[in-house]
Chains A and B, each alone.
Chain A
Amino acid sequence: MRIGEIVPDTIARQPWRVIVPLTLLVLFGSTVLYSAAGGSLKPWALNHFLRYLVFLGMALTLSFVPRDYFKAAAYPLYGVIMVLLVLVELIGGIGGGSQRWLNLGFMTLQPSELMKPVIVLAMARYYDDLPPSMTVNWRALIPAAALLVLPAGLVIIQPDLGTATAICFGAVVVIFLAGVPMSWFIAAGLAGAIAAPLAFFTLLHDYQRQRVFVFLDPQSDPLGTGYHILQSSIAIGSGGFFGKGFMNGSQSHLDYLPEAHTDFVFATMAEEWGMVGGLFVLGVFAILLRWGMNAARRAPDRFSQLLAAGMTATVFFYVAINLMMVMGLAPVVGIPLPFVSHGGSSMMTNMLCIGTIMAIERWSRTGRRSLS
């Protein structure tokens, strides 16, 4: 290995294949945020990059944590986050209205965000512990379902449908990959298809229902909820192939685009960088997710496999829902675009996922090494 001869081994062994594209993406995100702030590093661009560096350090640290620590921490962490979720609910109940945050003094903590990687961790641990023969037994599904329903339920009543869906998605992907019979998923899919309309008209809040209606017909309410979708489409559509150029986006600079630096940051980017910028972002995510899935396939054992795949799925869910939303393929839900949107919680969650996958990659290397 030529690099190994020049640079010290510890540096050469860092997962550069993911750090380099990821850093490029975050830098690109900072550029977009710089423009969205009207050509200023403050308040978003600089903050965004510094935050990334901090969380990158955290992720690299996490990557050195041994497998057994992860395994051991799975259920206790799950328990702690559950307690925090209940706490949020209680404080919210006292304060009146919806609350998603805990104010810790030095930062606001959103326990539902942390639950996204932690549910994957707990689920992977559960299926790792489950004897293989039990996987296909429906009784084994009950604890798994309980693990999932408890936090998802708490998050739904916050109410935060987007995060609840993200939690479910990560968990369900783990269950699916754990080898639970395909027929159950097909059955669940059918049941869902029947139940969804019922739930839509009974369980959802009015504003959520409204979002779905408007998603189906954005022009029906161009100044209300449909405004977001329409303005986002205008931003992306007017960008064309090469974009309007750095700092030239009228939709974001003139405040037509809502949440131009968070949920709709992709539209802000696409207006100025066009299709080229969009393909770059999609490309980086493709590298990232491919790297995650490869790490899962190469993982040395079942726990690592499920964990890596689940973490990848969680990141994927963020990316997929956000991009579908800004392109008018999904209703407006408050989910930011990983590594590009400004926001600490999402950066932390996603870097936790990345760090965990890095750790798994390291385990597989040491595992192989131990075999050889």
Chain B
Amino acid sequence: MLRRLRDRFTQRTARHVSSGTLHNSFDRRSVLIGSMQGGLGVLLAVRMGYIALAENARFTMMAESNRVNLALIPPRRGWILDRHNNPLASNRTDFRVDLIPERLVDAEATLAELGQLLKLDPVDVQDLRDKIDKSRGFQPVEVATGLDWDDFAAISVRLPDMPGVIPQRGFSRYYPTGPSVGHLVGYVGPASAKDYEREKNPLLITPGYKIGKDGLEKHFEPLLRGVPGARRSEVTASGKIVRELETREDVPGHPIKLTIDGGLQDYAARRIGLESAAVTVIDCLTGGILALTSMPCFDPNAFGSGIGRLQWKMLNEDDHIPLLNKALRGLYPPGSTMKPMASLALQIHGVSPDERVNCPGGYQLGNRFFRCDAVHGAMDMRSAIEHSCNTYFWSMAHRVGYDAIAPVARQLGLGQEFDLPGAAQRYGTVPDAAWKMRRYKQAWSVADSLNASIGQGYVSVSPLQLAVMTARIASGRNLVPSLMFGHAMPEAPHLPFTPEQLAVAHDGMFRVVNGSGTGTGSKLQVANVMMAGKTGTAQVRALTSRGHVGDWKSRDHSLFICYAPTDAPRYAMSVVVEHGTFGARAAAPIARDVMTYLFDPGKAWAVLEELEKGWGGTPQQRMDARYNAYVAKFGVTAPKVDDESAVANAEASAEAAVAPPPPAPNAAAAPAPEVQVVPDTPPEPLPATPSPPATPKPNGVQP
């Protein structure tokens, strides 16, 4: 075989090659080349036919999806309205700039250019960089909102040099009264990676789209959201819009109407001033909540784009704990504000309101002396409320036992959780013997009854509960607090107290303000309207010294509950001022002015405007000034903010901080609203107790 091949080969090479044979070879081979060319031409024609005809539909679709860009139009968020249809949260049109990190080509150069165009300071740029780091690429990051037209135009012109930057005209959430509604309404922010993974909704990563992050905004997210619109536009490969093709309008989210009176809410929040306090106002006819404020508060308008480092530092370092909604989640010993409730409990256990107890300046229990704040002399039930005489309630509580009082406390709303949207409430503690055994494995003592009867010791309540209690005492009805306006509710049933029994509590409270009681300084200066109330001063720590001096943190809490008008109760209110010292000093004046607002707003505003001059402006102005001071002081040195869970953590630790102190064993006998109590005997030896309510859900009394 091989030989044959070689033979053939040698034969061919040996063959004589003339120009004639070459000419023939050329002819043959040129035909070959020509037919190869023709063949390829046919192949190309077939290929083109395949692409252009057979695959036409597929490629036409791909060309269309190249050409047409479908952009979601974020739906306008439903408004949150107050009872008069004034917005607590609305939307306003603005020019905004967002940025999609994964489309950035040169992040640093783009940031530098944006910083220059928008005049961002180093702190802003640092915050922006943090947000980009956290964003996981596909999530848009807000650069700036509320731009004026010039800045917006400047950005738009330079777009080709800044891939990934998206300027647009859209709607952003606006809270007209800012911090006043922060805790109540919550705030909105860009969806987190977690939100997106849960929902997988492309709307969530549409630049400029925000979802509810807290409060009602979060609770009513599905209702407020609406349906996104879509805009089809023709775009170039680099994303430049050539022309709009068609637009489907968005469907705005549903508005939500609250029982809140926006003006009252704002007034109450601002009237709190520099204090750390909660004011809650309830409509005594319907149970609707008219105001639910907790100050200081963050500015929900500023939270929308994420929380900056300095903002975070500022909020965290504030000992007034702006992140805590004190109205729903702050727990305080109620102090003497319990006395009207206690008077009802005593009456249904057969104590005559006219029975007199002599107050020699304290109460002797065994070998211990509980000291009252004055020598009140002979006290009946009404005057004991008027003068906040502890001796009267100690002796009566000793007689009937606290287990007789606790059910009435619960009936009036203490220790209860109410069905309200938004932030979860903490329901505190209304102690009794069973509770103490369960919690501390100890028997209930008479000293515990004495402490609890004047709202000290183990008792802790939230400002909302105090307001509900006040409304129920004032109306005599089992009012249920509500936030949603327009849900017609059957008239609340009467509580099991006789009008006569209620009248005793009402009379006592009337005399607190209008008689010679502890709150006379807060008498309402409105014609034909009288207010009834009760002061409370709650010990923060078991102190041997007075609780109104020393550092802020160890001062007594100041409380006040009230309702007006006294002849036909319409509004009930609770005011809790953290570390405000005497109830009459800090809480009652706030309550008086807020109540004045309800009957004579002009007069109330005049008072507030004068006060705010001394405080350094509105809460918003004070917050801005404080932020600028932080910028000047710390610049870009503040540590990075982790993420939203940090807010939750901060809230939790804030709650732990304001939770009532452990009823320290040796202080159990040291109750003292408005009283300086010095135990004159060695304390009862008690075993070490576990740490008291510091968790969001303490082992309180279950309803």
Contacts and interface: CB of A to CB of B under 8 A. Distances in A.
A238 B60 contact: yes
A135 interface: yes
B41 interface: yes
Main secondary structure of the interface of A (DSSP, over half): helix
B695 interface: no
A237 B41 contact: no
Contacts of B236: 254-256
Given A316-B37, A327-B51, A132 B22 contact: yes
Contacts of B18: 132-133
B195 interface: no
Interface in A127-142: 132-133, 135-137
A293 B33 contact: yes
Interface string B10-37: 0011011111011101110110011001
Given A282-B45, A309-B26, 14 more contacts: A236-B59, A237-B56, A237-B62, A256-B66, A256-B67, A275-B53, A282-B41, A285-B41, A293-B30, A297-B27, A302-B26, A305-B30, A320-B44, A329-B47
A338 interface: no
A297 B24 CA distance: 10
Interface in A217-241: 231, 233-241
Contacts of A329: 43-44, 47
A297 B34 CA distance: 11
Contacts of B17: 132-133, 135-136, 179
B67 A233 contact: no
B37 A278 contact: no
7 nearest CB pairs, A to B: A237-B59, A238-B63, A255-B237, A179-B25, A250-B67, A179-B22, A238-B60
Interface in A231-288: 231, 233-241, 250-251, 254-256, 270-271, 274-275, 278-279, 282, 285-286
B58 interface: yes
B235 A327 contact: no
A196 interface: no
Contacts of B34: 289-290, 293
B21 to A, nearest CB: 7
B607 interface: no
Contacts of B67: 250-251, 254, 256
B19 to A, nearest CB: 5
Interface string A166-185: 00000001001111010100
A231 B58 CA distance: 13
Given A254-B237, A278-B45, A285-B41, A309 B51 contact: no
Contacts of A179: 17, 21-22, 25-26, 29
A139 to B, nearest CB: 12
A238 B21 CA distance: 51
Contact of A236 (B43, B48, B234, B238): B48
B54 to A, nearest CB: 9
Given A178-B22, A293-B34, A305-B26, A234 B66 contact: yes
Given A176-B29, A238-B63, A132 B19 contact: yes
A232 B236 CA distance: 16
Given A179-B22, A279-B45, A302-B22, A234 B63 contact: yes
Q: How large is the interface on A (under 10, 10 to 19, 20 to 34, 35 or more residues)?
A: 35 or more
B53 A241 contact: yes
Nearest to B237: A255
Contacts of B234: 250, 254
Contacts of B12: 136, 181
Nearest to A232: B51
A132 B48 CA distance: 43
A240 B52 CA distance: 4
Interface in B368-393: none
Interface string A313-326: 10010001001100
A327 B48 contact: yes
Given A178-B22, A234-B62, A327-B51, A256 B237 contact: yes
A296 interface: yes
B242 A254 contact: yes
B55 interface: yes
Interface in B210-258: 234-238, 242
Nearest to B38: A286
Interface in A104-135: 132-133, 135
Given A238-B63, A278-B45, A279-B45, A289 B37 contact: yes
B49 interface: yes
B365 interface: no
